[in-house]
Structure 1
Amino acid sequence: MSRTASFGPGGTVQAGNPLCLIGDSGTGKSHLLIGLGTAIAEAGGRIRYTTAANLVNELAEAASDKQLGRTIKKYGRVDLLCLDEFGYVKLDRHGAELLFQIFTEREERHAIAIASNRPFTEWDQTFTDKRLCQAIVDRLTFEAHIIETGTQSFRLASTTAKRKAAAA
Protein backbone atom coordinates (compact mmCIF):
# COMPACT_ATOMS: atom_id res chain seq x y z
CA MET A 1 0.00 0.00 0.00
CA SER A 2 1.33 3.43 -0.94
CA ARG A 3 2.20 6.08 1.64
CA THR A 4 -0.32 8.41 0.00
CA ALA A 5 -3.11 6.19 1.29
CA SER A 6 -2.35 6.93 4.93
CA PHE A 7 -4.30 9.33 7.09
CA GLY A 8 -2.83 11.40 9.86
CA PRO A 9 0.78 12.03 10.88
CA GLY A 10 3.14 9.14 10.32
CA GLY A 11 0.81 6.96 8.26
CA THR A 12 -2.00 5.96 10.59
CA VAL A 13 -3.21 3.03 8.49
CA GLN A 14 0.27 1.51 8.31
CA ALA A 15 0.82 2.14 12.03
CA GLY A 16 -2.48 0.49 12.99
CA ASN A 17 -3.83 3.61 14.67
CA PRO A 18 -7.60 3.93 15.05
CA LEU A 19 -9.86 6.63 13.66
CA CYS A 20 -13.04 7.54 15.54
CA LEU A 21 -15.72 9.62 13.83
CA ILE A 22 -18.18 10.85 16.43
CA GLY A 23 -21.28 12.89 15.64
CA ASP A 24 -25.03 12.94 15.27
CA SER A 25 -26.92 11.24 12.43
CA GLY A 26 -26.57 12.92 9.07
CA THR A 27 -23.22 14.60 9.75
CA GLY A 28 -21.20 12.67 7.16
CA LYS A 29 -19.58 9.89 9.19
CA SER A 30 -20.55 7.08 6.80
CA HIS A 31 -19.49 9.12 3.78
CA LEU A 32 -16.11 9.73 5.40
CA LEU A 33 -15.67 6.01 6.15
CA ILE A 34 -16.57 5.07 2.60
CA GLY A 35 -14.28 7.74 1.14
CA LEU A 36 -11.39 6.66 3.35
CA GLY A 37 -11.93 3.01 2.50
CA THR A 38 -12.07 3.82 -1.20
CA ALA A 39 -8.81 5.78 -1.02
CA ILE A 40 -7.06 2.94 0.80
CA ALA A 41 -8.38 0.38 -1.69
CA GLU A 42 -7.29 2.52 -4.66
CA ALA A 43 -3.80 2.65 -3.13
CA GLY A 44 -3.71 -1.15 -3.02
CA GLY A 45 -4.82 -1.69 0.56
CA ARG A 46 -7.25 -4.32 1.73
CA ILE A 47 -10.32 -2.87 3.39
CA ARG A 48 -13.52 -4.20 4.87
CA TYR A 49 -16.59 -2.04 5.47
CA THR A 50 -19.50 -3.29 7.58
CA THR A 51 -21.78 -2.16 10.35
CA ALA A 52 -20.98 -3.07 13.94
CA ALA A 53 -24.23 -5.05 14.21
CA ASN A 54 -23.50 -7.03 11.04
CA LEU A 55 -20.00 -7.84 12.27
CA VAL A 56 -21.29 -9.05 15.63
CA ASN A 57 -23.93 -11.18 13.87
CA GLU A 58 -21.27 -12.66 11.58
CA LEU A 59 -19.03 -13.43 14.55
CA ALA A 60 -21.91 -15.05 16.48
CA GLU A 61 -22.75 -17.24 13.48
CA ALA A 62 -19.08 -18.17 13.07
CA ALA A 63 -18.88 -19.09 16.76
CA SER A 64 -21.90 -21.38 16.48
CA ASP A 65 -20.37 -22.99 13.37
CA LYS A 66 -17.03 -23.43 15.16
CA GLN A 67 -15.40 -21.02 12.67
CA LEU A 68 -14.77 -18.08 15.02
CA GLY A 69 -10.98 -18.29 14.91
CA ARG A 70 -10.98 -18.30 11.12
CA THR A 71 -13.37 -15.32 10.96
CA ILE A 72 -11.36 -13.30 13.48
CA LYS A 73 -8.17 -13.96 11.50
CA LYS A 74 -9.95 -12.88 8.29
CA TYR A 75 -10.80 -9.53 9.89
CA GLY A 76 -7.31 -9.31 11.36
CA ARG A 77 -5.67 -9.38 7.92
CA VAL A 78 -7.32 -6.38 6.28
CA ASP A 79 -5.36 -3.12 6.32
CA LEU A 80 -8.38 -1.07 7.38
CA LEU A 81 -11.59 -2.23 9.02
CA CYS A 82 -14.37 0.36 8.74
CA LEU A 83 -17.15 -0.17 11.28
CA ASP A 84 -20.19 1.97 10.71
CA GLU A 85 -23.17 2.53 13.02
CA PHE A 86 -21.06 1.78 16.08
CA GLY A 87 -23.26 2.27 19.14
CA TYR A 88 -26.60 2.26 17.33
CA VAL A 89 -27.52 -1.23 18.54
CA LYS A 90 -27.21 -2.40 22.13
CA LEU A 91 -24.92 -5.41 22.42
CA ASP A 92 -25.26 -8.15 24.98
CA ARG A 93 -22.14 -9.31 26.79
CA HIS A 94 -21.46 -12.11 24.30
CA GLY A 95 -21.71 -9.76 21.31
CA ALA A 96 -19.41 -7.23 22.99
CA GLU A 97 -16.90 -9.97 23.81
CA LEU A 98 -16.87 -11.10 20.17
CA LEU A 99 -16.30 -7.53 18.99
CA PHE A 100 -13.55 -7.11 21.58
CA GLN A 101 -11.73 -10.09 20.07
CA ILE A 102 -11.62 -8.30 16.72
CA PHE A 103 -10.15 -5.18 18.34
CA THR A 104 -7.57 -7.25 20.19
CA GLU A 105 -6.60 -9.10 16.99
CA ARG A 106 -6.07 -5.81 15.14
CA GLU A 107 -4.61 -3.72 17.98
CA GLU A 108 -1.58 -1.63 16.97
CA ARG A 109 -1.06 -3.72 13.82
CA HIS A 110 -3.94 -2.90 11.51
CA ALA A 111 -6.10 0.22 11.56
CA ILE A 112 -9.74 0.39 12.46
CA ALA A 113 -12.07 3.28 11.71
CA ILE A 114 -15.42 3.58 13.45
CA ALA A 115 -18.37 5.90 13.07
CA SER A 116 -20.61 6.43 16.08
CA ASN A 117 -23.53 8.68 16.88
CA ARG A 118 -22.70 8.49 20.60
CA PRO A 119 -19.90 10.20 22.51
CA PHE A 120 -17.57 7.84 24.40
CA THR A 121 -19.29 8.77 27.66
CA GLU A 122 -22.50 7.11 26.39
CA TRP A 123 -20.97 3.88 25.14
CA ASP A 124 -22.01 2.13 28.35
CA GLN A 125 -25.53 2.20 26.85
CA THR A 126 -24.27 0.03 23.98
CA PHE A 127 -21.94 -2.20 25.99
CA THR A 128 -23.76 -3.37 29.10
CA ASP A 129 -20.60 -4.58 30.88
CA LYS A 130 -18.76 -1.48 32.17
CA ARG A 131 -15.30 -3.07 32.30
CA LEU A 132 -15.63 -4.43 28.80
CA CYS A 133 -16.87 -1.01 27.64
CA GLN A 134 -13.82 0.66 29.20
CA ALA A 135 -11.50 -1.84 27.53
CA ILE A 136 -13.10 -1.23 24.12
CA VAL A 137 -12.93 2.56 24.52
CA ASP A 138 -9.31 2.21 25.66
CA ARG A 139 -8.33 0.20 22.57
CA LEU A 140 -10.21 2.45 20.16
CA THR A 141 -8.81 5.69 21.55
CA PHE A 142 -5.15 4.79 22.09
CA GLU A 143 -3.09 6.74 19.52
CA ALA A 144 -6.39 7.47 17.75
CA HIS A 145 -7.46 10.33 15.57
CA ILE A 146 -10.81 11.47 16.94
CA ILE A 147 -12.94 13.64 14.69
CA GLU A 148 -16.20 15.15 15.87
CA THR A 149 -18.49 15.66 12.90
CA GLY A 150 -20.97 17.81 14.78
CA THR A 151 -24.67 17.84 15.42
CA GLN A 152 -26.25 19.46 12.36
CA SER A 153 -27.63 16.98 9.85
CA PHE A 154 -26.58 17.62 6.26
CA ARG A 155 -29.67 15.68 5.11
CA LEU A 156 -32.04 17.91 7.07
CA ALA A 157 -30.24 21.06 5.92
CA SER A 158 -30.41 19.90 2.28
CA THR A 159 -34.11 19.08 2.50
CA THR A 160 -34.88 22.41 4.17
CA ALA A 161 -32.90 24.33 1.53
CA LYS A 162 -34.71 22.49 -1.30
CA ARG A 163 -38.11 23.26 0.22
CA LYS A 164 -37.22 26.93 0.62
CA ALA A 165 -35.99 27.09 -3.00
CA ALA A 166 -39.16 25.39 -4.27
CA ALA A 167 -41.37 27.77 -2.28
CA ALA A 168 -39.57 30.85 -3.62
Structure 2
Amino acid sequence: MNEAPKLLLAHHLKTLKLPTVLREYDKVAQQCAAEGLDHVQFLARLVELELIDRERRMIERRIKAAKFPAVKSLDSFDFKAIPSLNKMQVLELARCEWIERRENVIALGPSGTGKTHVALGLGLAACQKGLAVGFTTAAALVHELMEARDQRRLLRLQKQLVSHKLLIIDELGFVPLSKTGAELLFELISQRYERGATLITSNLPFDEWTETFGSERLTGALLDRLTHHVSILEMNGDSYRLGQSRAHKARVAADAQH
Protein backbone atom coordinates (compact mmCIF):
# COMPACT_ATOMS: atom_id res chain seq x y z
CA MET A 1 0.00 0.00 0.00
CA ASN A 2 1.25 3.50 -0.87
CA GLU A 3 2.21 5.30 2.39
CA ALA A 4 2.48 8.76 0.75
CA PRO A 5 -1.15 9.88 1.42
CA LYS A 6 -0.82 8.87 5.08
CA LEU A 7 2.47 10.76 5.47
CA LEU A 8 0.98 13.81 3.77
CA LEU A 9 -2.14 13.65 5.97
CA ALA A 10 0.03 13.35 9.11
CA HIS A 11 2.04 16.39 7.98
CA HIS A 12 -1.11 18.46 7.37
CA LEU A 13 -2.69 17.48 10.70
CA LYS A 14 0.51 18.43 12.56
CA THR A 15 0.61 21.78 10.75
CA LEU A 16 -3.03 22.40 11.66
CA LYS A 17 -2.27 21.34 15.26
CA LEU A 18 -4.84 18.52 15.33
CA PRO A 19 -2.95 15.85 17.32
CA THR A 20 -6.09 13.97 18.43
CA VAL A 21 -7.37 13.64 14.85
CA LEU A 22 -3.94 12.32 13.83
CA ARG A 23 -3.91 9.80 16.68
CA GLU A 24 -7.52 8.63 16.36
CA TYR A 25 -8.61 8.85 12.70
CA ASP A 26 -7.64 5.29 11.78
CA LYS A 27 -9.43 3.73 14.78
CA VAL A 28 -12.52 5.93 14.38
CA ALA A 29 -12.67 5.14 10.63
CA GLN A 30 -12.76 1.43 11.41
CA GLN A 31 -15.46 1.92 14.11
CA CYS A 32 -17.60 4.01 11.77
CA ALA A 33 -17.21 1.47 8.94
CA ALA A 34 -18.28 -1.33 11.31
CA GLU A 35 -21.30 0.73 12.45
CA GLY A 36 -22.25 1.68 8.90
CA LEU A 37 -21.82 5.43 9.51
CA ASP A 38 -21.20 7.82 6.60
CA HIS A 39 -18.29 10.24 6.10
CA VAL A 40 -20.08 13.16 7.80
CA GLN A 41 -20.73 11.10 10.95
CA PHE A 42 -17.11 9.89 10.88
CA LEU A 43 -15.85 13.47 10.61
CA ALA A 44 -18.21 14.71 13.35
CA ARG A 45 -17.02 12.00 15.76
CA LEU A 46 -13.38 12.76 14.99
CA VAL A 47 -13.76 16.54 15.39
CA GLU A 48 -15.64 16.04 18.68
CA LEU A 49 -12.71 13.99 20.05
CA GLU A 50 -10.32 16.79 19.06
CA LEU A 51 -12.48 19.40 20.81
CA ILE A 52 -12.79 17.34 24.03
CA ASP A 53 -9.02 16.81 24.08
CA ARG A 54 -8.30 20.45 23.31
CA GLU A 55 -10.53 21.55 26.20
CA ARG A 56 -8.78 19.11 28.56
CA ARG A 57 -5.34 20.43 27.52
CA MET A 58 -6.53 24.03 27.96
CA ILE A 59 -7.77 23.28 31.50
CA GLU A 60 -4.45 21.60 32.33
CA ARG A 61 -2.57 24.68 31.08
CA ARG A 62 -4.78 27.01 33.14
CA ILE A 63 -4.26 24.89 36.28
CA LYS A 64 -0.48 24.89 35.74
CA ALA A 65 -0.43 28.66 35.11
CA ALA A 66 -2.48 29.30 38.30
CA LYS A 67 0.35 27.86 40.46
CA PHE A 68 -2.02 26.20 42.95
CA PRO A 69 -0.11 24.61 45.87
CA ALA A 70 -2.41 21.58 45.39
CA VAL A 71 -5.33 20.77 43.11
CA LYS A 72 -8.46 20.41 45.24
CA SER A 73 -12.08 20.32 44.17
CA LEU A 74 -15.17 21.30 46.13
CA ASP A 75 -16.37 17.68 45.78
CA SER A 76 -13.82 16.64 48.40
CA PHE A 77 -14.72 19.43 50.86
CA ASP A 78 -16.55 18.38 54.05
CA PHE A 79 -19.30 20.98 54.35
CA LYS A 80 -20.74 19.19 57.42
CA ALA A 81 -17.55 19.98 59.37
CA ILE A 82 -18.13 23.74 58.96
CA PRO A 83 -21.85 24.29 59.62
CA SER A 84 -21.42 28.08 59.52
CA LEU A 85 -20.44 27.87 55.83
CA ASN A 86 -23.36 28.27 53.42
CA LYS A 87 -22.96 25.31 51.04
CA MET A 88 -25.49 26.65 48.53
CA GLN A 89 -23.60 29.95 48.39
CA VAL A 90 -20.30 28.14 47.66
CA LEU A 91 -21.89 25.97 44.95
CA GLU A 92 -23.42 29.09 43.39
CA LEU A 93 -19.95 30.73 43.40
CA ALA A 94 -18.54 27.61 41.68
CA ARG A 95 -20.64 28.60 38.63
CA CYS A 96 -18.14 31.50 38.29
CA GLU A 97 -20.68 34.17 37.30
CA TRP A 98 -19.27 36.45 40.03
CA ILE A 99 -15.89 36.27 38.26
CA GLU A 100 -17.46 37.39 34.99
CA ARG A 101 -19.10 40.25 36.94
CA ARG A 102 -15.66 41.16 38.43
CA GLU A 103 -16.87 40.82 42.01
CA ASN A 104 -14.97 39.62 45.09
CA VAL A 105 -15.15 36.80 47.62
CA ILE A 106 -13.70 36.92 51.13
CA ALA A 107 -13.45 33.74 53.22
CA LEU A 108 -13.06 34.49 56.94
CA GLY A 109 -12.35 32.12 59.80
CA PRO A 110 -9.62 30.73 62.04
CA SER A 111 -6.89 28.38 60.82
CA GLY A 112 -7.99 24.89 59.93
CA THR A 113 -11.51 25.70 58.80
CA GLY A 114 -10.85 24.89 55.14
CA LYS A 115 -10.59 28.41 53.70
CA THR A 116 -7.71 27.46 51.39
CA HIS A 117 -9.52 24.31 50.25
CA VAL A 118 -12.61 26.34 49.30
CA ALA A 119 -10.40 28.93 47.55
CA LEU A 120 -8.62 26.17 45.60
CA GLY A 121 -11.95 24.56 44.71
CA LEU A 122 -13.33 27.84 43.34
CA GLY A 123 -10.04 28.45 41.51
CA LEU A 124 -10.24 25.00 39.90
CA ALA A 125 -13.87 25.64 38.87
CA ALA A 126 -12.72 28.89 37.19
CA CYS A 127 -9.92 27.05 35.32
CA GLN A 128 -12.49 24.49 34.11
CA LYS A 129 -14.57 27.38 32.76
CA GLY A 130 -11.53 28.55 30.79
CA LEU A 131 -10.73 31.57 32.97
CA ALA A 132 -7.19 32.77 33.79
CA VAL A 133 -6.50 32.28 37.51
CA GLY A 134 -3.55 33.20 39.73
CA PHE A 135 -2.95 31.86 43.25
CA THR A 136 -0.56 33.31 45.85
CA THR A 137 -0.30 33.92 49.58
CA ALA A 138 -0.45 37.51 50.84
CA ALA A 139 3.14 37.28 52.16
CA ALA A 140 4.51 35.88 48.87
CA LEU A 141 2.59 38.45 46.84
CA VAL A 142 3.89 41.39 48.88
CA HIS A 143 7.44 39.99 48.68
CA GLU A 144 7.09 39.67 44.89
CA LEU A 145 5.72 43.23 44.55
CA MET A 146 8.54 44.71 46.68
CA GLU A 147 11.19 42.78 44.76
CA ALA A 148 9.70 43.94 41.45
CA ARG A 149 9.69 47.56 42.68
CA ASP A 150 13.37 47.32 43.69
CA GLN A 151 14.23 45.84 40.28
CA ARG A 152 12.16 48.46 38.42
CA ARG A 153 9.75 45.95 36.89
CA LEU A 154 6.76 46.74 39.13
CA LEU A 155 4.55 48.03 36.29
CA ARG A 156 5.09 44.82 34.32
CA LEU A 157 4.22 42.64 37.34
CA GLN A 158 1.16 44.74 38.20
CA LYS A 159 -0.07 44.46 34.61
CA GLN A 160 0.38 40.68 34.75
CA LEU A 161 -1.48 40.40 38.09
CA VAL A 162 -4.31 42.65 36.91
CA SER A 163 -4.77 40.47 33.80
CA HIS A 164 -5.93 37.44 35.83
CA LYS A 165 -9.71 37.02 35.64
CA LEU A 166 -9.45 35.69 39.21
CA LEU A 167 -6.64 36.42 41.66
CA ILE A 168 -6.66 34.35 44.86
CA ILE A 169 -4.76 35.87 47.80
CA ASP A 170 -4.50 33.31 50.59
CA GLU A 171 -3.64 33.83 54.27
CA LEU A 172 -4.06 37.59 54.59
CA GLY A 173 -3.50 38.52 58.23
CA PHE A 174 -1.00 35.79 59.14
CA VAL A 175 1.89 38.23 58.85
CA PRO A 176 1.77 42.00 59.53
CA LEU A 177 2.86 43.92 56.45
CA SER A 178 5.46 46.66 56.25
CA LYS A 179 4.20 50.14 55.33
CA THR A 180 5.53 49.74 51.77
CA GLY A 181 4.16 46.19 51.48
CA ALA A 182 0.70 47.31 52.64
CA GLU A 183 0.71 50.21 50.17
CA LEU A 184 1.75 47.97 47.26
CA LEU A 185 -0.96 45.42 48.09
CA PHE A 186 -3.53 48.22 48.36
CA GLU A 187 -2.40 49.60 45.00
CA LEU A 188 -2.81 46.18 43.33
CA ILE A 189 -6.29 45.63 44.79
CA SER A 190 -7.27 49.16 43.66
CA GLN A 191 -6.00 48.39 40.13
CA ARG A 192 -8.08 45.19 40.06
CA TYR A 193 -11.18 46.96 41.43
CA GLU A 194 -14.03 46.39 38.95
CA ARG A 195 -11.50 45.05 36.42
CA GLY A 196 -11.05 41.54 37.81
CA ALA A 197 -12.36 39.27 40.56
CA THR A 198 -10.32 38.80 43.76
CA LEU A 199 -10.73 36.04 46.34
CA ILE A 200 -9.11 36.62 49.74
CA THR A 201 -8.87 34.25 52.69
CA SER A 202 -8.12 35.66 56.14
CA ASN A 203 -7.95 34.40 59.71
CA LEU A 204 -8.88 37.87 61.01
CA PRO A 205 -12.31 39.52 61.24
CA PHE A 206 -12.47 42.82 59.34
CA ASP A 207 -12.02 45.05 62.38
CA GLU A 208 -8.60 43.44 62.99
CA TRP A 209 -7.29 44.01 59.47
CA THR A 210 -5.69 47.25 60.65
CA GLU A 211 -3.17 45.08 62.54
CA THR A 212 -2.04 43.68 59.18
CA PHE A 213 -2.06 46.92 57.20
CA GLY A 214 -0.85 49.17 60.01
CA SER A 215 -3.07 52.11 59.03
CA GLU A 216 -6.76 52.62 59.66
CA ARG A 217 -7.09 54.94 56.66
CA LEU A 218 -5.51 52.41 54.28
CA THR A 219 -7.52 49.50 55.75
CA GLY A 220 -10.77 51.48 55.42
CA ALA A 221 -10.05 52.39 51.78
CA LEU A 222 -9.08 48.77 51.01
CA LEU A 223 -12.26 47.36 52.60
CA ASP A 224 -14.37 49.93 50.72
CA ARG A 225 -13.06 48.56 47.41
CA LEU A 226 -13.15 44.89 48.40
CA THR A 227 -16.62 44.91 49.95
CA HIS A 228 -18.33 47.03 47.28
CA HIS A 229 -19.32 43.86 45.34
CA VAL A 230 -18.57 41.00 47.71
CA SER A 231 -19.70 37.56 48.86
CA ILE A 232 -18.49 36.75 52.37
CA LEU A 233 -17.92 33.11 53.30
CA GLU A 234 -18.18 32.70 57.05
CA MET A 235 -16.08 29.78 58.14
CA ASN A 236 -16.67 30.39 61.83
CA GLY A 237 -20.24 31.52 62.34
CA ASP A 238 -21.67 34.96 62.77
CA SER A 239 -18.78 36.54 64.65
CA TYR A 240 -17.00 36.88 61.31
CA ARG A 241 -19.73 38.89 59.62
CA LEU A 242 -18.80 42.36 58.39
CA GLY A 243 -19.50 44.74 61.24
CA GLN A 244 -20.55 41.94 63.60
CA SER A 245 -17.48 42.26 65.83
CA ARG A 246 -17.93 46.04 66.00
CA ALA A 247 -21.56 45.57 67.07
CA HIS A 248 -20.49 43.03 69.68
CA LYS A 249 -17.91 45.42 71.14
CA ALA A 250 -20.53 48.19 71.25
CA ARG A 251 -22.93 45.87 73.11
CA VAL A 252 -20.23 44.89 75.65
CA ALA A 253 -19.42 48.55 76.21
CA ALA A 254 -23.11 49.37 76.65
CA ASP A 255 -23.58 46.49 79.14
CA ALA A 256 -20.58 47.65 81.14
CA GLN A 257 -22.20 51.05 81.67
CA HIS A 258 -25.41 49.56 83.16
Under TM normalisation by the shorter chain, which class is it? 0.7 to 0.9
Q: For residues 104-143 of structure 1, what are the structure 2 equivalents within 5 Å?
A: 104-143=190-229
| Residue 127 of structure 2, aligned match among 32, 35, 41 | 41
Equivalence for 1:31: 117
Give the structure-2-normalised TM-score. Answer: 0.55
Equivalence for 2:185: 99
SS at match of 1:123: helix
Equivalence for 2:70: none
* Counterpart Cα distance in 2 of 1:6 and 1:105: 26
Equivalence for 2:149: 63
SS at match of 1:20: strand
| Residue 78 of structure 1, aligned match among 160, 164, 176 | 164
Q: 1:149 to 1:6 in 2, by over 3 A?
A: closer
Identity %: 41
Equivalence for 1:163: none
Matched, 1:16 2:102: yes
In structure 1, stretches of 5+ residues that fail to align are 152-168
Q: Cα offset for 1:7? A: 2.3
Q: Cα offset for 1:143? A: 1.2
Q: Cα offset for 1:138? A: 1.2
The AA in structure 2 aligned to 1:39 is: A
* Counterpart Cα distance in 1 of 2:187 and 2:207: 22
| Residue 146 of structure 1, aligned match among 213, 218, 232 | 232
Q: Determine which structure has greater relative contact order: mean sequence separation of CA pairs < 8 Å that are 6+ residues apart, divided by chain length.
A: 1
The AA in structure 1 aligned to 2:177 is: L
The AA in structure 2 aligned to 1:118 is: L
SS at match of 1:118: coil
In structure 2, stretches of 5+ residues that fail to align are 1-90, 238-258
* Counterpart Cα distance in 2 of 1:25 and 1:15: 29
Q: 1:109 to 1:26 in 2, by over 3 A?
A: same
Compare the two structures and name the one with the higher strand fraction: 1
Equivalence for 1:160: none
Matched, 1:88 2:211: no
Q: Cα offset for 1:43? A: 1.1
Q: Tell me if structure 2 keeps the 8 A contact 1:6–1:12.
A: no
The AA in structure 1 aligned to 2:163 is: R
Compare the two structures and name the one with the higher helix fraction: 2
Q: Cα offset for 1:137? A: 1.3
Q: Tell me if structure 2 keeps the 8 A contact 1:33–1:115.
A: yes
Q: Tell me if structure 2 keeps the 8 A contact 1:6–1:40.
A: no
Q: Tell me if structure 1 keeps the 8 A contact 2:94–2:122.
A: no
Backbone CA RMSD of aligned residues:
1.8
Counting matched residue pairs gives: 147
Q: Tell me if structure 1 keeps the 8 A contact 2:166–2:199.
A: yes
Give the structure-1-normalised TM-score. Answer: 0.83
Q: Cα offset for 1:136? A: 1.1
Q: Tell me if structure 1 keeps the 8 A contact 2:96–2:125.
A: no
Q: Tell me if structure 1 keeps the 8 A contact 2:95–2:125.
A: no
